[in-house]
């Protein structure tokens, strides 16, 4: 089974006897700052509690903080989507060394952007990052727009990311709704249902809008994210350190392990793919993946069509003479929506003198070290280097 062109995009926790049953909040007014916050029982103190807590316990030293530069804030917001802070920091710093300004990013070839993103995953983010930089240069004179709705119209930027940029950089009072904030709101106000469900998400946006204070929006939004990341954590919330412990519906009813409700479980499909490692005089053949879909735009090892003979297919496809073929160790890689087992095949070949077609390239070890390749392909290549990348014994066939 081949790698698809694009994605179809624990044990239950026992409920404790409630100490006190509280009403589940279902807000229905306003989505922006200054909504009817008084309609929620604890709304007036909610933002003030978080802002006070953040001053003493929040995160203040991350590399994208203490700046109002929209380029740096936007870059961090995109990198942090579905990726942990510890993973993002070295990528963020390396990215800024190569592209210190938005204009530098827009002027760079997209292949250079993909190479720097290699290993961070969710590669559509990198393609959209480059497209967004181009759009800002072309449509906004190189200056990030200030209004959240206009920012949200740029490639790869959704509502929550747009509101973050507008809040942190331009003083907007706009609510955000990333995974950490959803978890805090679901627990504090007892919002039931899967937070990714469109109906539940609309309810959360209304709630976030009602809670948004009229001032200190940036501090408030950062406080929500920090609380979710460091205290109101998914697995083991530290409720004893939470500034909302006395108003939290989930804590009062013994449901911190149940809220927010998890995504309905589906069986994760398993797929298999054979990748060909064509080698010649210390170089390896890579090809550019299609721009959309899995590993879009990255360099990768050629994929053998299902049921095809590797020797015959490589001879026809790459106009080369195959000297020897041998299997390499398999490896497993998990995507968000399926698991992939990769079976690499080593092929020592003698290329013809015919011109290479576009999208194919032979790279040596030094070039491979900086090439934009997917993480599992990098693991295959590093395994070959560790084993000495020795030629296979040839045999006649």
- And the tokens for 169? 């950089």
Dihedral sign for Cα atoms in the order 323, 325, 328, 331: positive
What is the maximal distance between C-alpha atoms in the chain? 83
Work out the burial of residue 105: count CB atoms within 10 Å of its CB; fewer than 13 is exposed, 13-18 middle, 19 or more buried. buried
Angle, vertex CA 121, rays to CA 117 and CA 127, nearest 5: 55
DSSP state of 188: H
* Calpha distance 349→311 (Å, rounded): 10
End-to-end alpha-carbon separation of the chain, Å?
Answer: 27
Distances (CA, A) of 222 to 202, 217, 218, 301, 367: 21, 8, 6, 41, 40
Q: How many helices and strands (H and E) does the chain possess?
A: 15, 8
Assign residue 353 a region: left if phi > 0, alpha if psi is -120 to 50, beta otherwise?
alpha
- For residue 281, indicate whether it is catalytic: no
Output the CA torsion 187→191→194→198 (10° steps).
-130
**Mapping DSSP to helix (H, G, I), strand (E, B) and coil, where does residue 107 land?**
helix
Dihedral sign for Cα atoms in the order 7, 8, 12, 16: positive
Of the residues 31, 77, 272, 306, which is catalytic?
Answer: 77
Residue among 185, 178, 159 nearest 261 (CA): 185
For 370, other C-beta atoms within 10 Å of its C-beta total 12
Residues 249, 192: contact at Cβ < 8 Å?
no
- And the tokens for 110? 């997209």
Burial 206-245 (b: 16+ CB within 10 A, else e): bbbbbbbbeebbbbbbbbbbbbbbebbeeeebeeeebbbe
Which stretches of 190-325 are DSSP H helices?
198-211, 217-230, 249-252, 310-318
Residues recognised as catalytic: 77
């Amino acid at each position: 089974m081949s790698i698809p062109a694009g994605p179809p995009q624990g044990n239950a926790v026992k409920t404790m006897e409630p100490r006190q049953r509280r009403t589940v909040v279902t807000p229905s007014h306003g989505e922006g700052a200054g909504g009817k916050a008084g309609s929620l029982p604890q709304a007036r103190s909610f933002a003030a509690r978080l802002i006070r807590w953040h001053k003493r316990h929040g995160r203040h030293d991350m590399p994208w903080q203490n700046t109002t530069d929209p380029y740096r804030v936007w870059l961090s917001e995109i990198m942090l989507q579905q990726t942990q802070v510890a993973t993002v920091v070295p990528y963020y710093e390396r990215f800024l060394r190569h592209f210190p300004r938005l204009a530098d990013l827009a002027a760079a070839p997209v292949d250079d952007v993909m190479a720097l993103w290699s290993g961070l995953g969710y590669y559509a983010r990198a393609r959209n990052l480059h497209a967004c930089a181009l759009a800002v240069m072309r449509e906004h004179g190189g200056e990030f727009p200030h209004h959240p709705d206009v920012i949200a119209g740029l490639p790869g930027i959704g509502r929550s990311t747009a509101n973050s940029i507008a809040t942190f950089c331009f003083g907007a009072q706009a609510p955000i709704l990333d995974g950490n904030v959803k978890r805090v709101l679901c627990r504090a106000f007892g919002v039931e249902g899967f937070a990714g469900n469109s109906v539940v998400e609309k309810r959360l946006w209304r709630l976030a809008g009602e809670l948004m204070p009229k001032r200190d929006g940036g501090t408030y939004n950062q406080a929500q994210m920090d609380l979710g990341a460091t205290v109101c954590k998914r697995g083991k919330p530290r409720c004893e350190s939470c500034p909302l412990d006395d108003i939290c519906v989930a804590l009062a009813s013994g449901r911190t392990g149940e809220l927010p409700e998890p995504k309905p479980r589906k069986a994760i499909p398993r797929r298999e793919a054979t990748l060909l490692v064509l080698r010649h005089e210390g170089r390896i053949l890579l090809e550019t993946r299609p721009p959309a879909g899995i590993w879009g735009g990255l360099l990768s090892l050629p994929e053998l069509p299902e049921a095809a003979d590797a020797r015959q297919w490589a001879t026809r496809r790459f106009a080369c003479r195959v000297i020897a073929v041998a299997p390499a160790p398999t490896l497993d890689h998990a995507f968000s929506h399926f698991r992939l087992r990769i079976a690499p095949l080593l092929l020592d070949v003698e290329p013809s003198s015919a011109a290479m077609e576009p999208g194919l390239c032979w790279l040596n070890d030094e070039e491979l070290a900086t090439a934009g390749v997917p993480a599992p392909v990098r693991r295959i290549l590093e395994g070959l280097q560790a084993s000495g990348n020795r030629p296979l014994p040839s045999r006649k066939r």
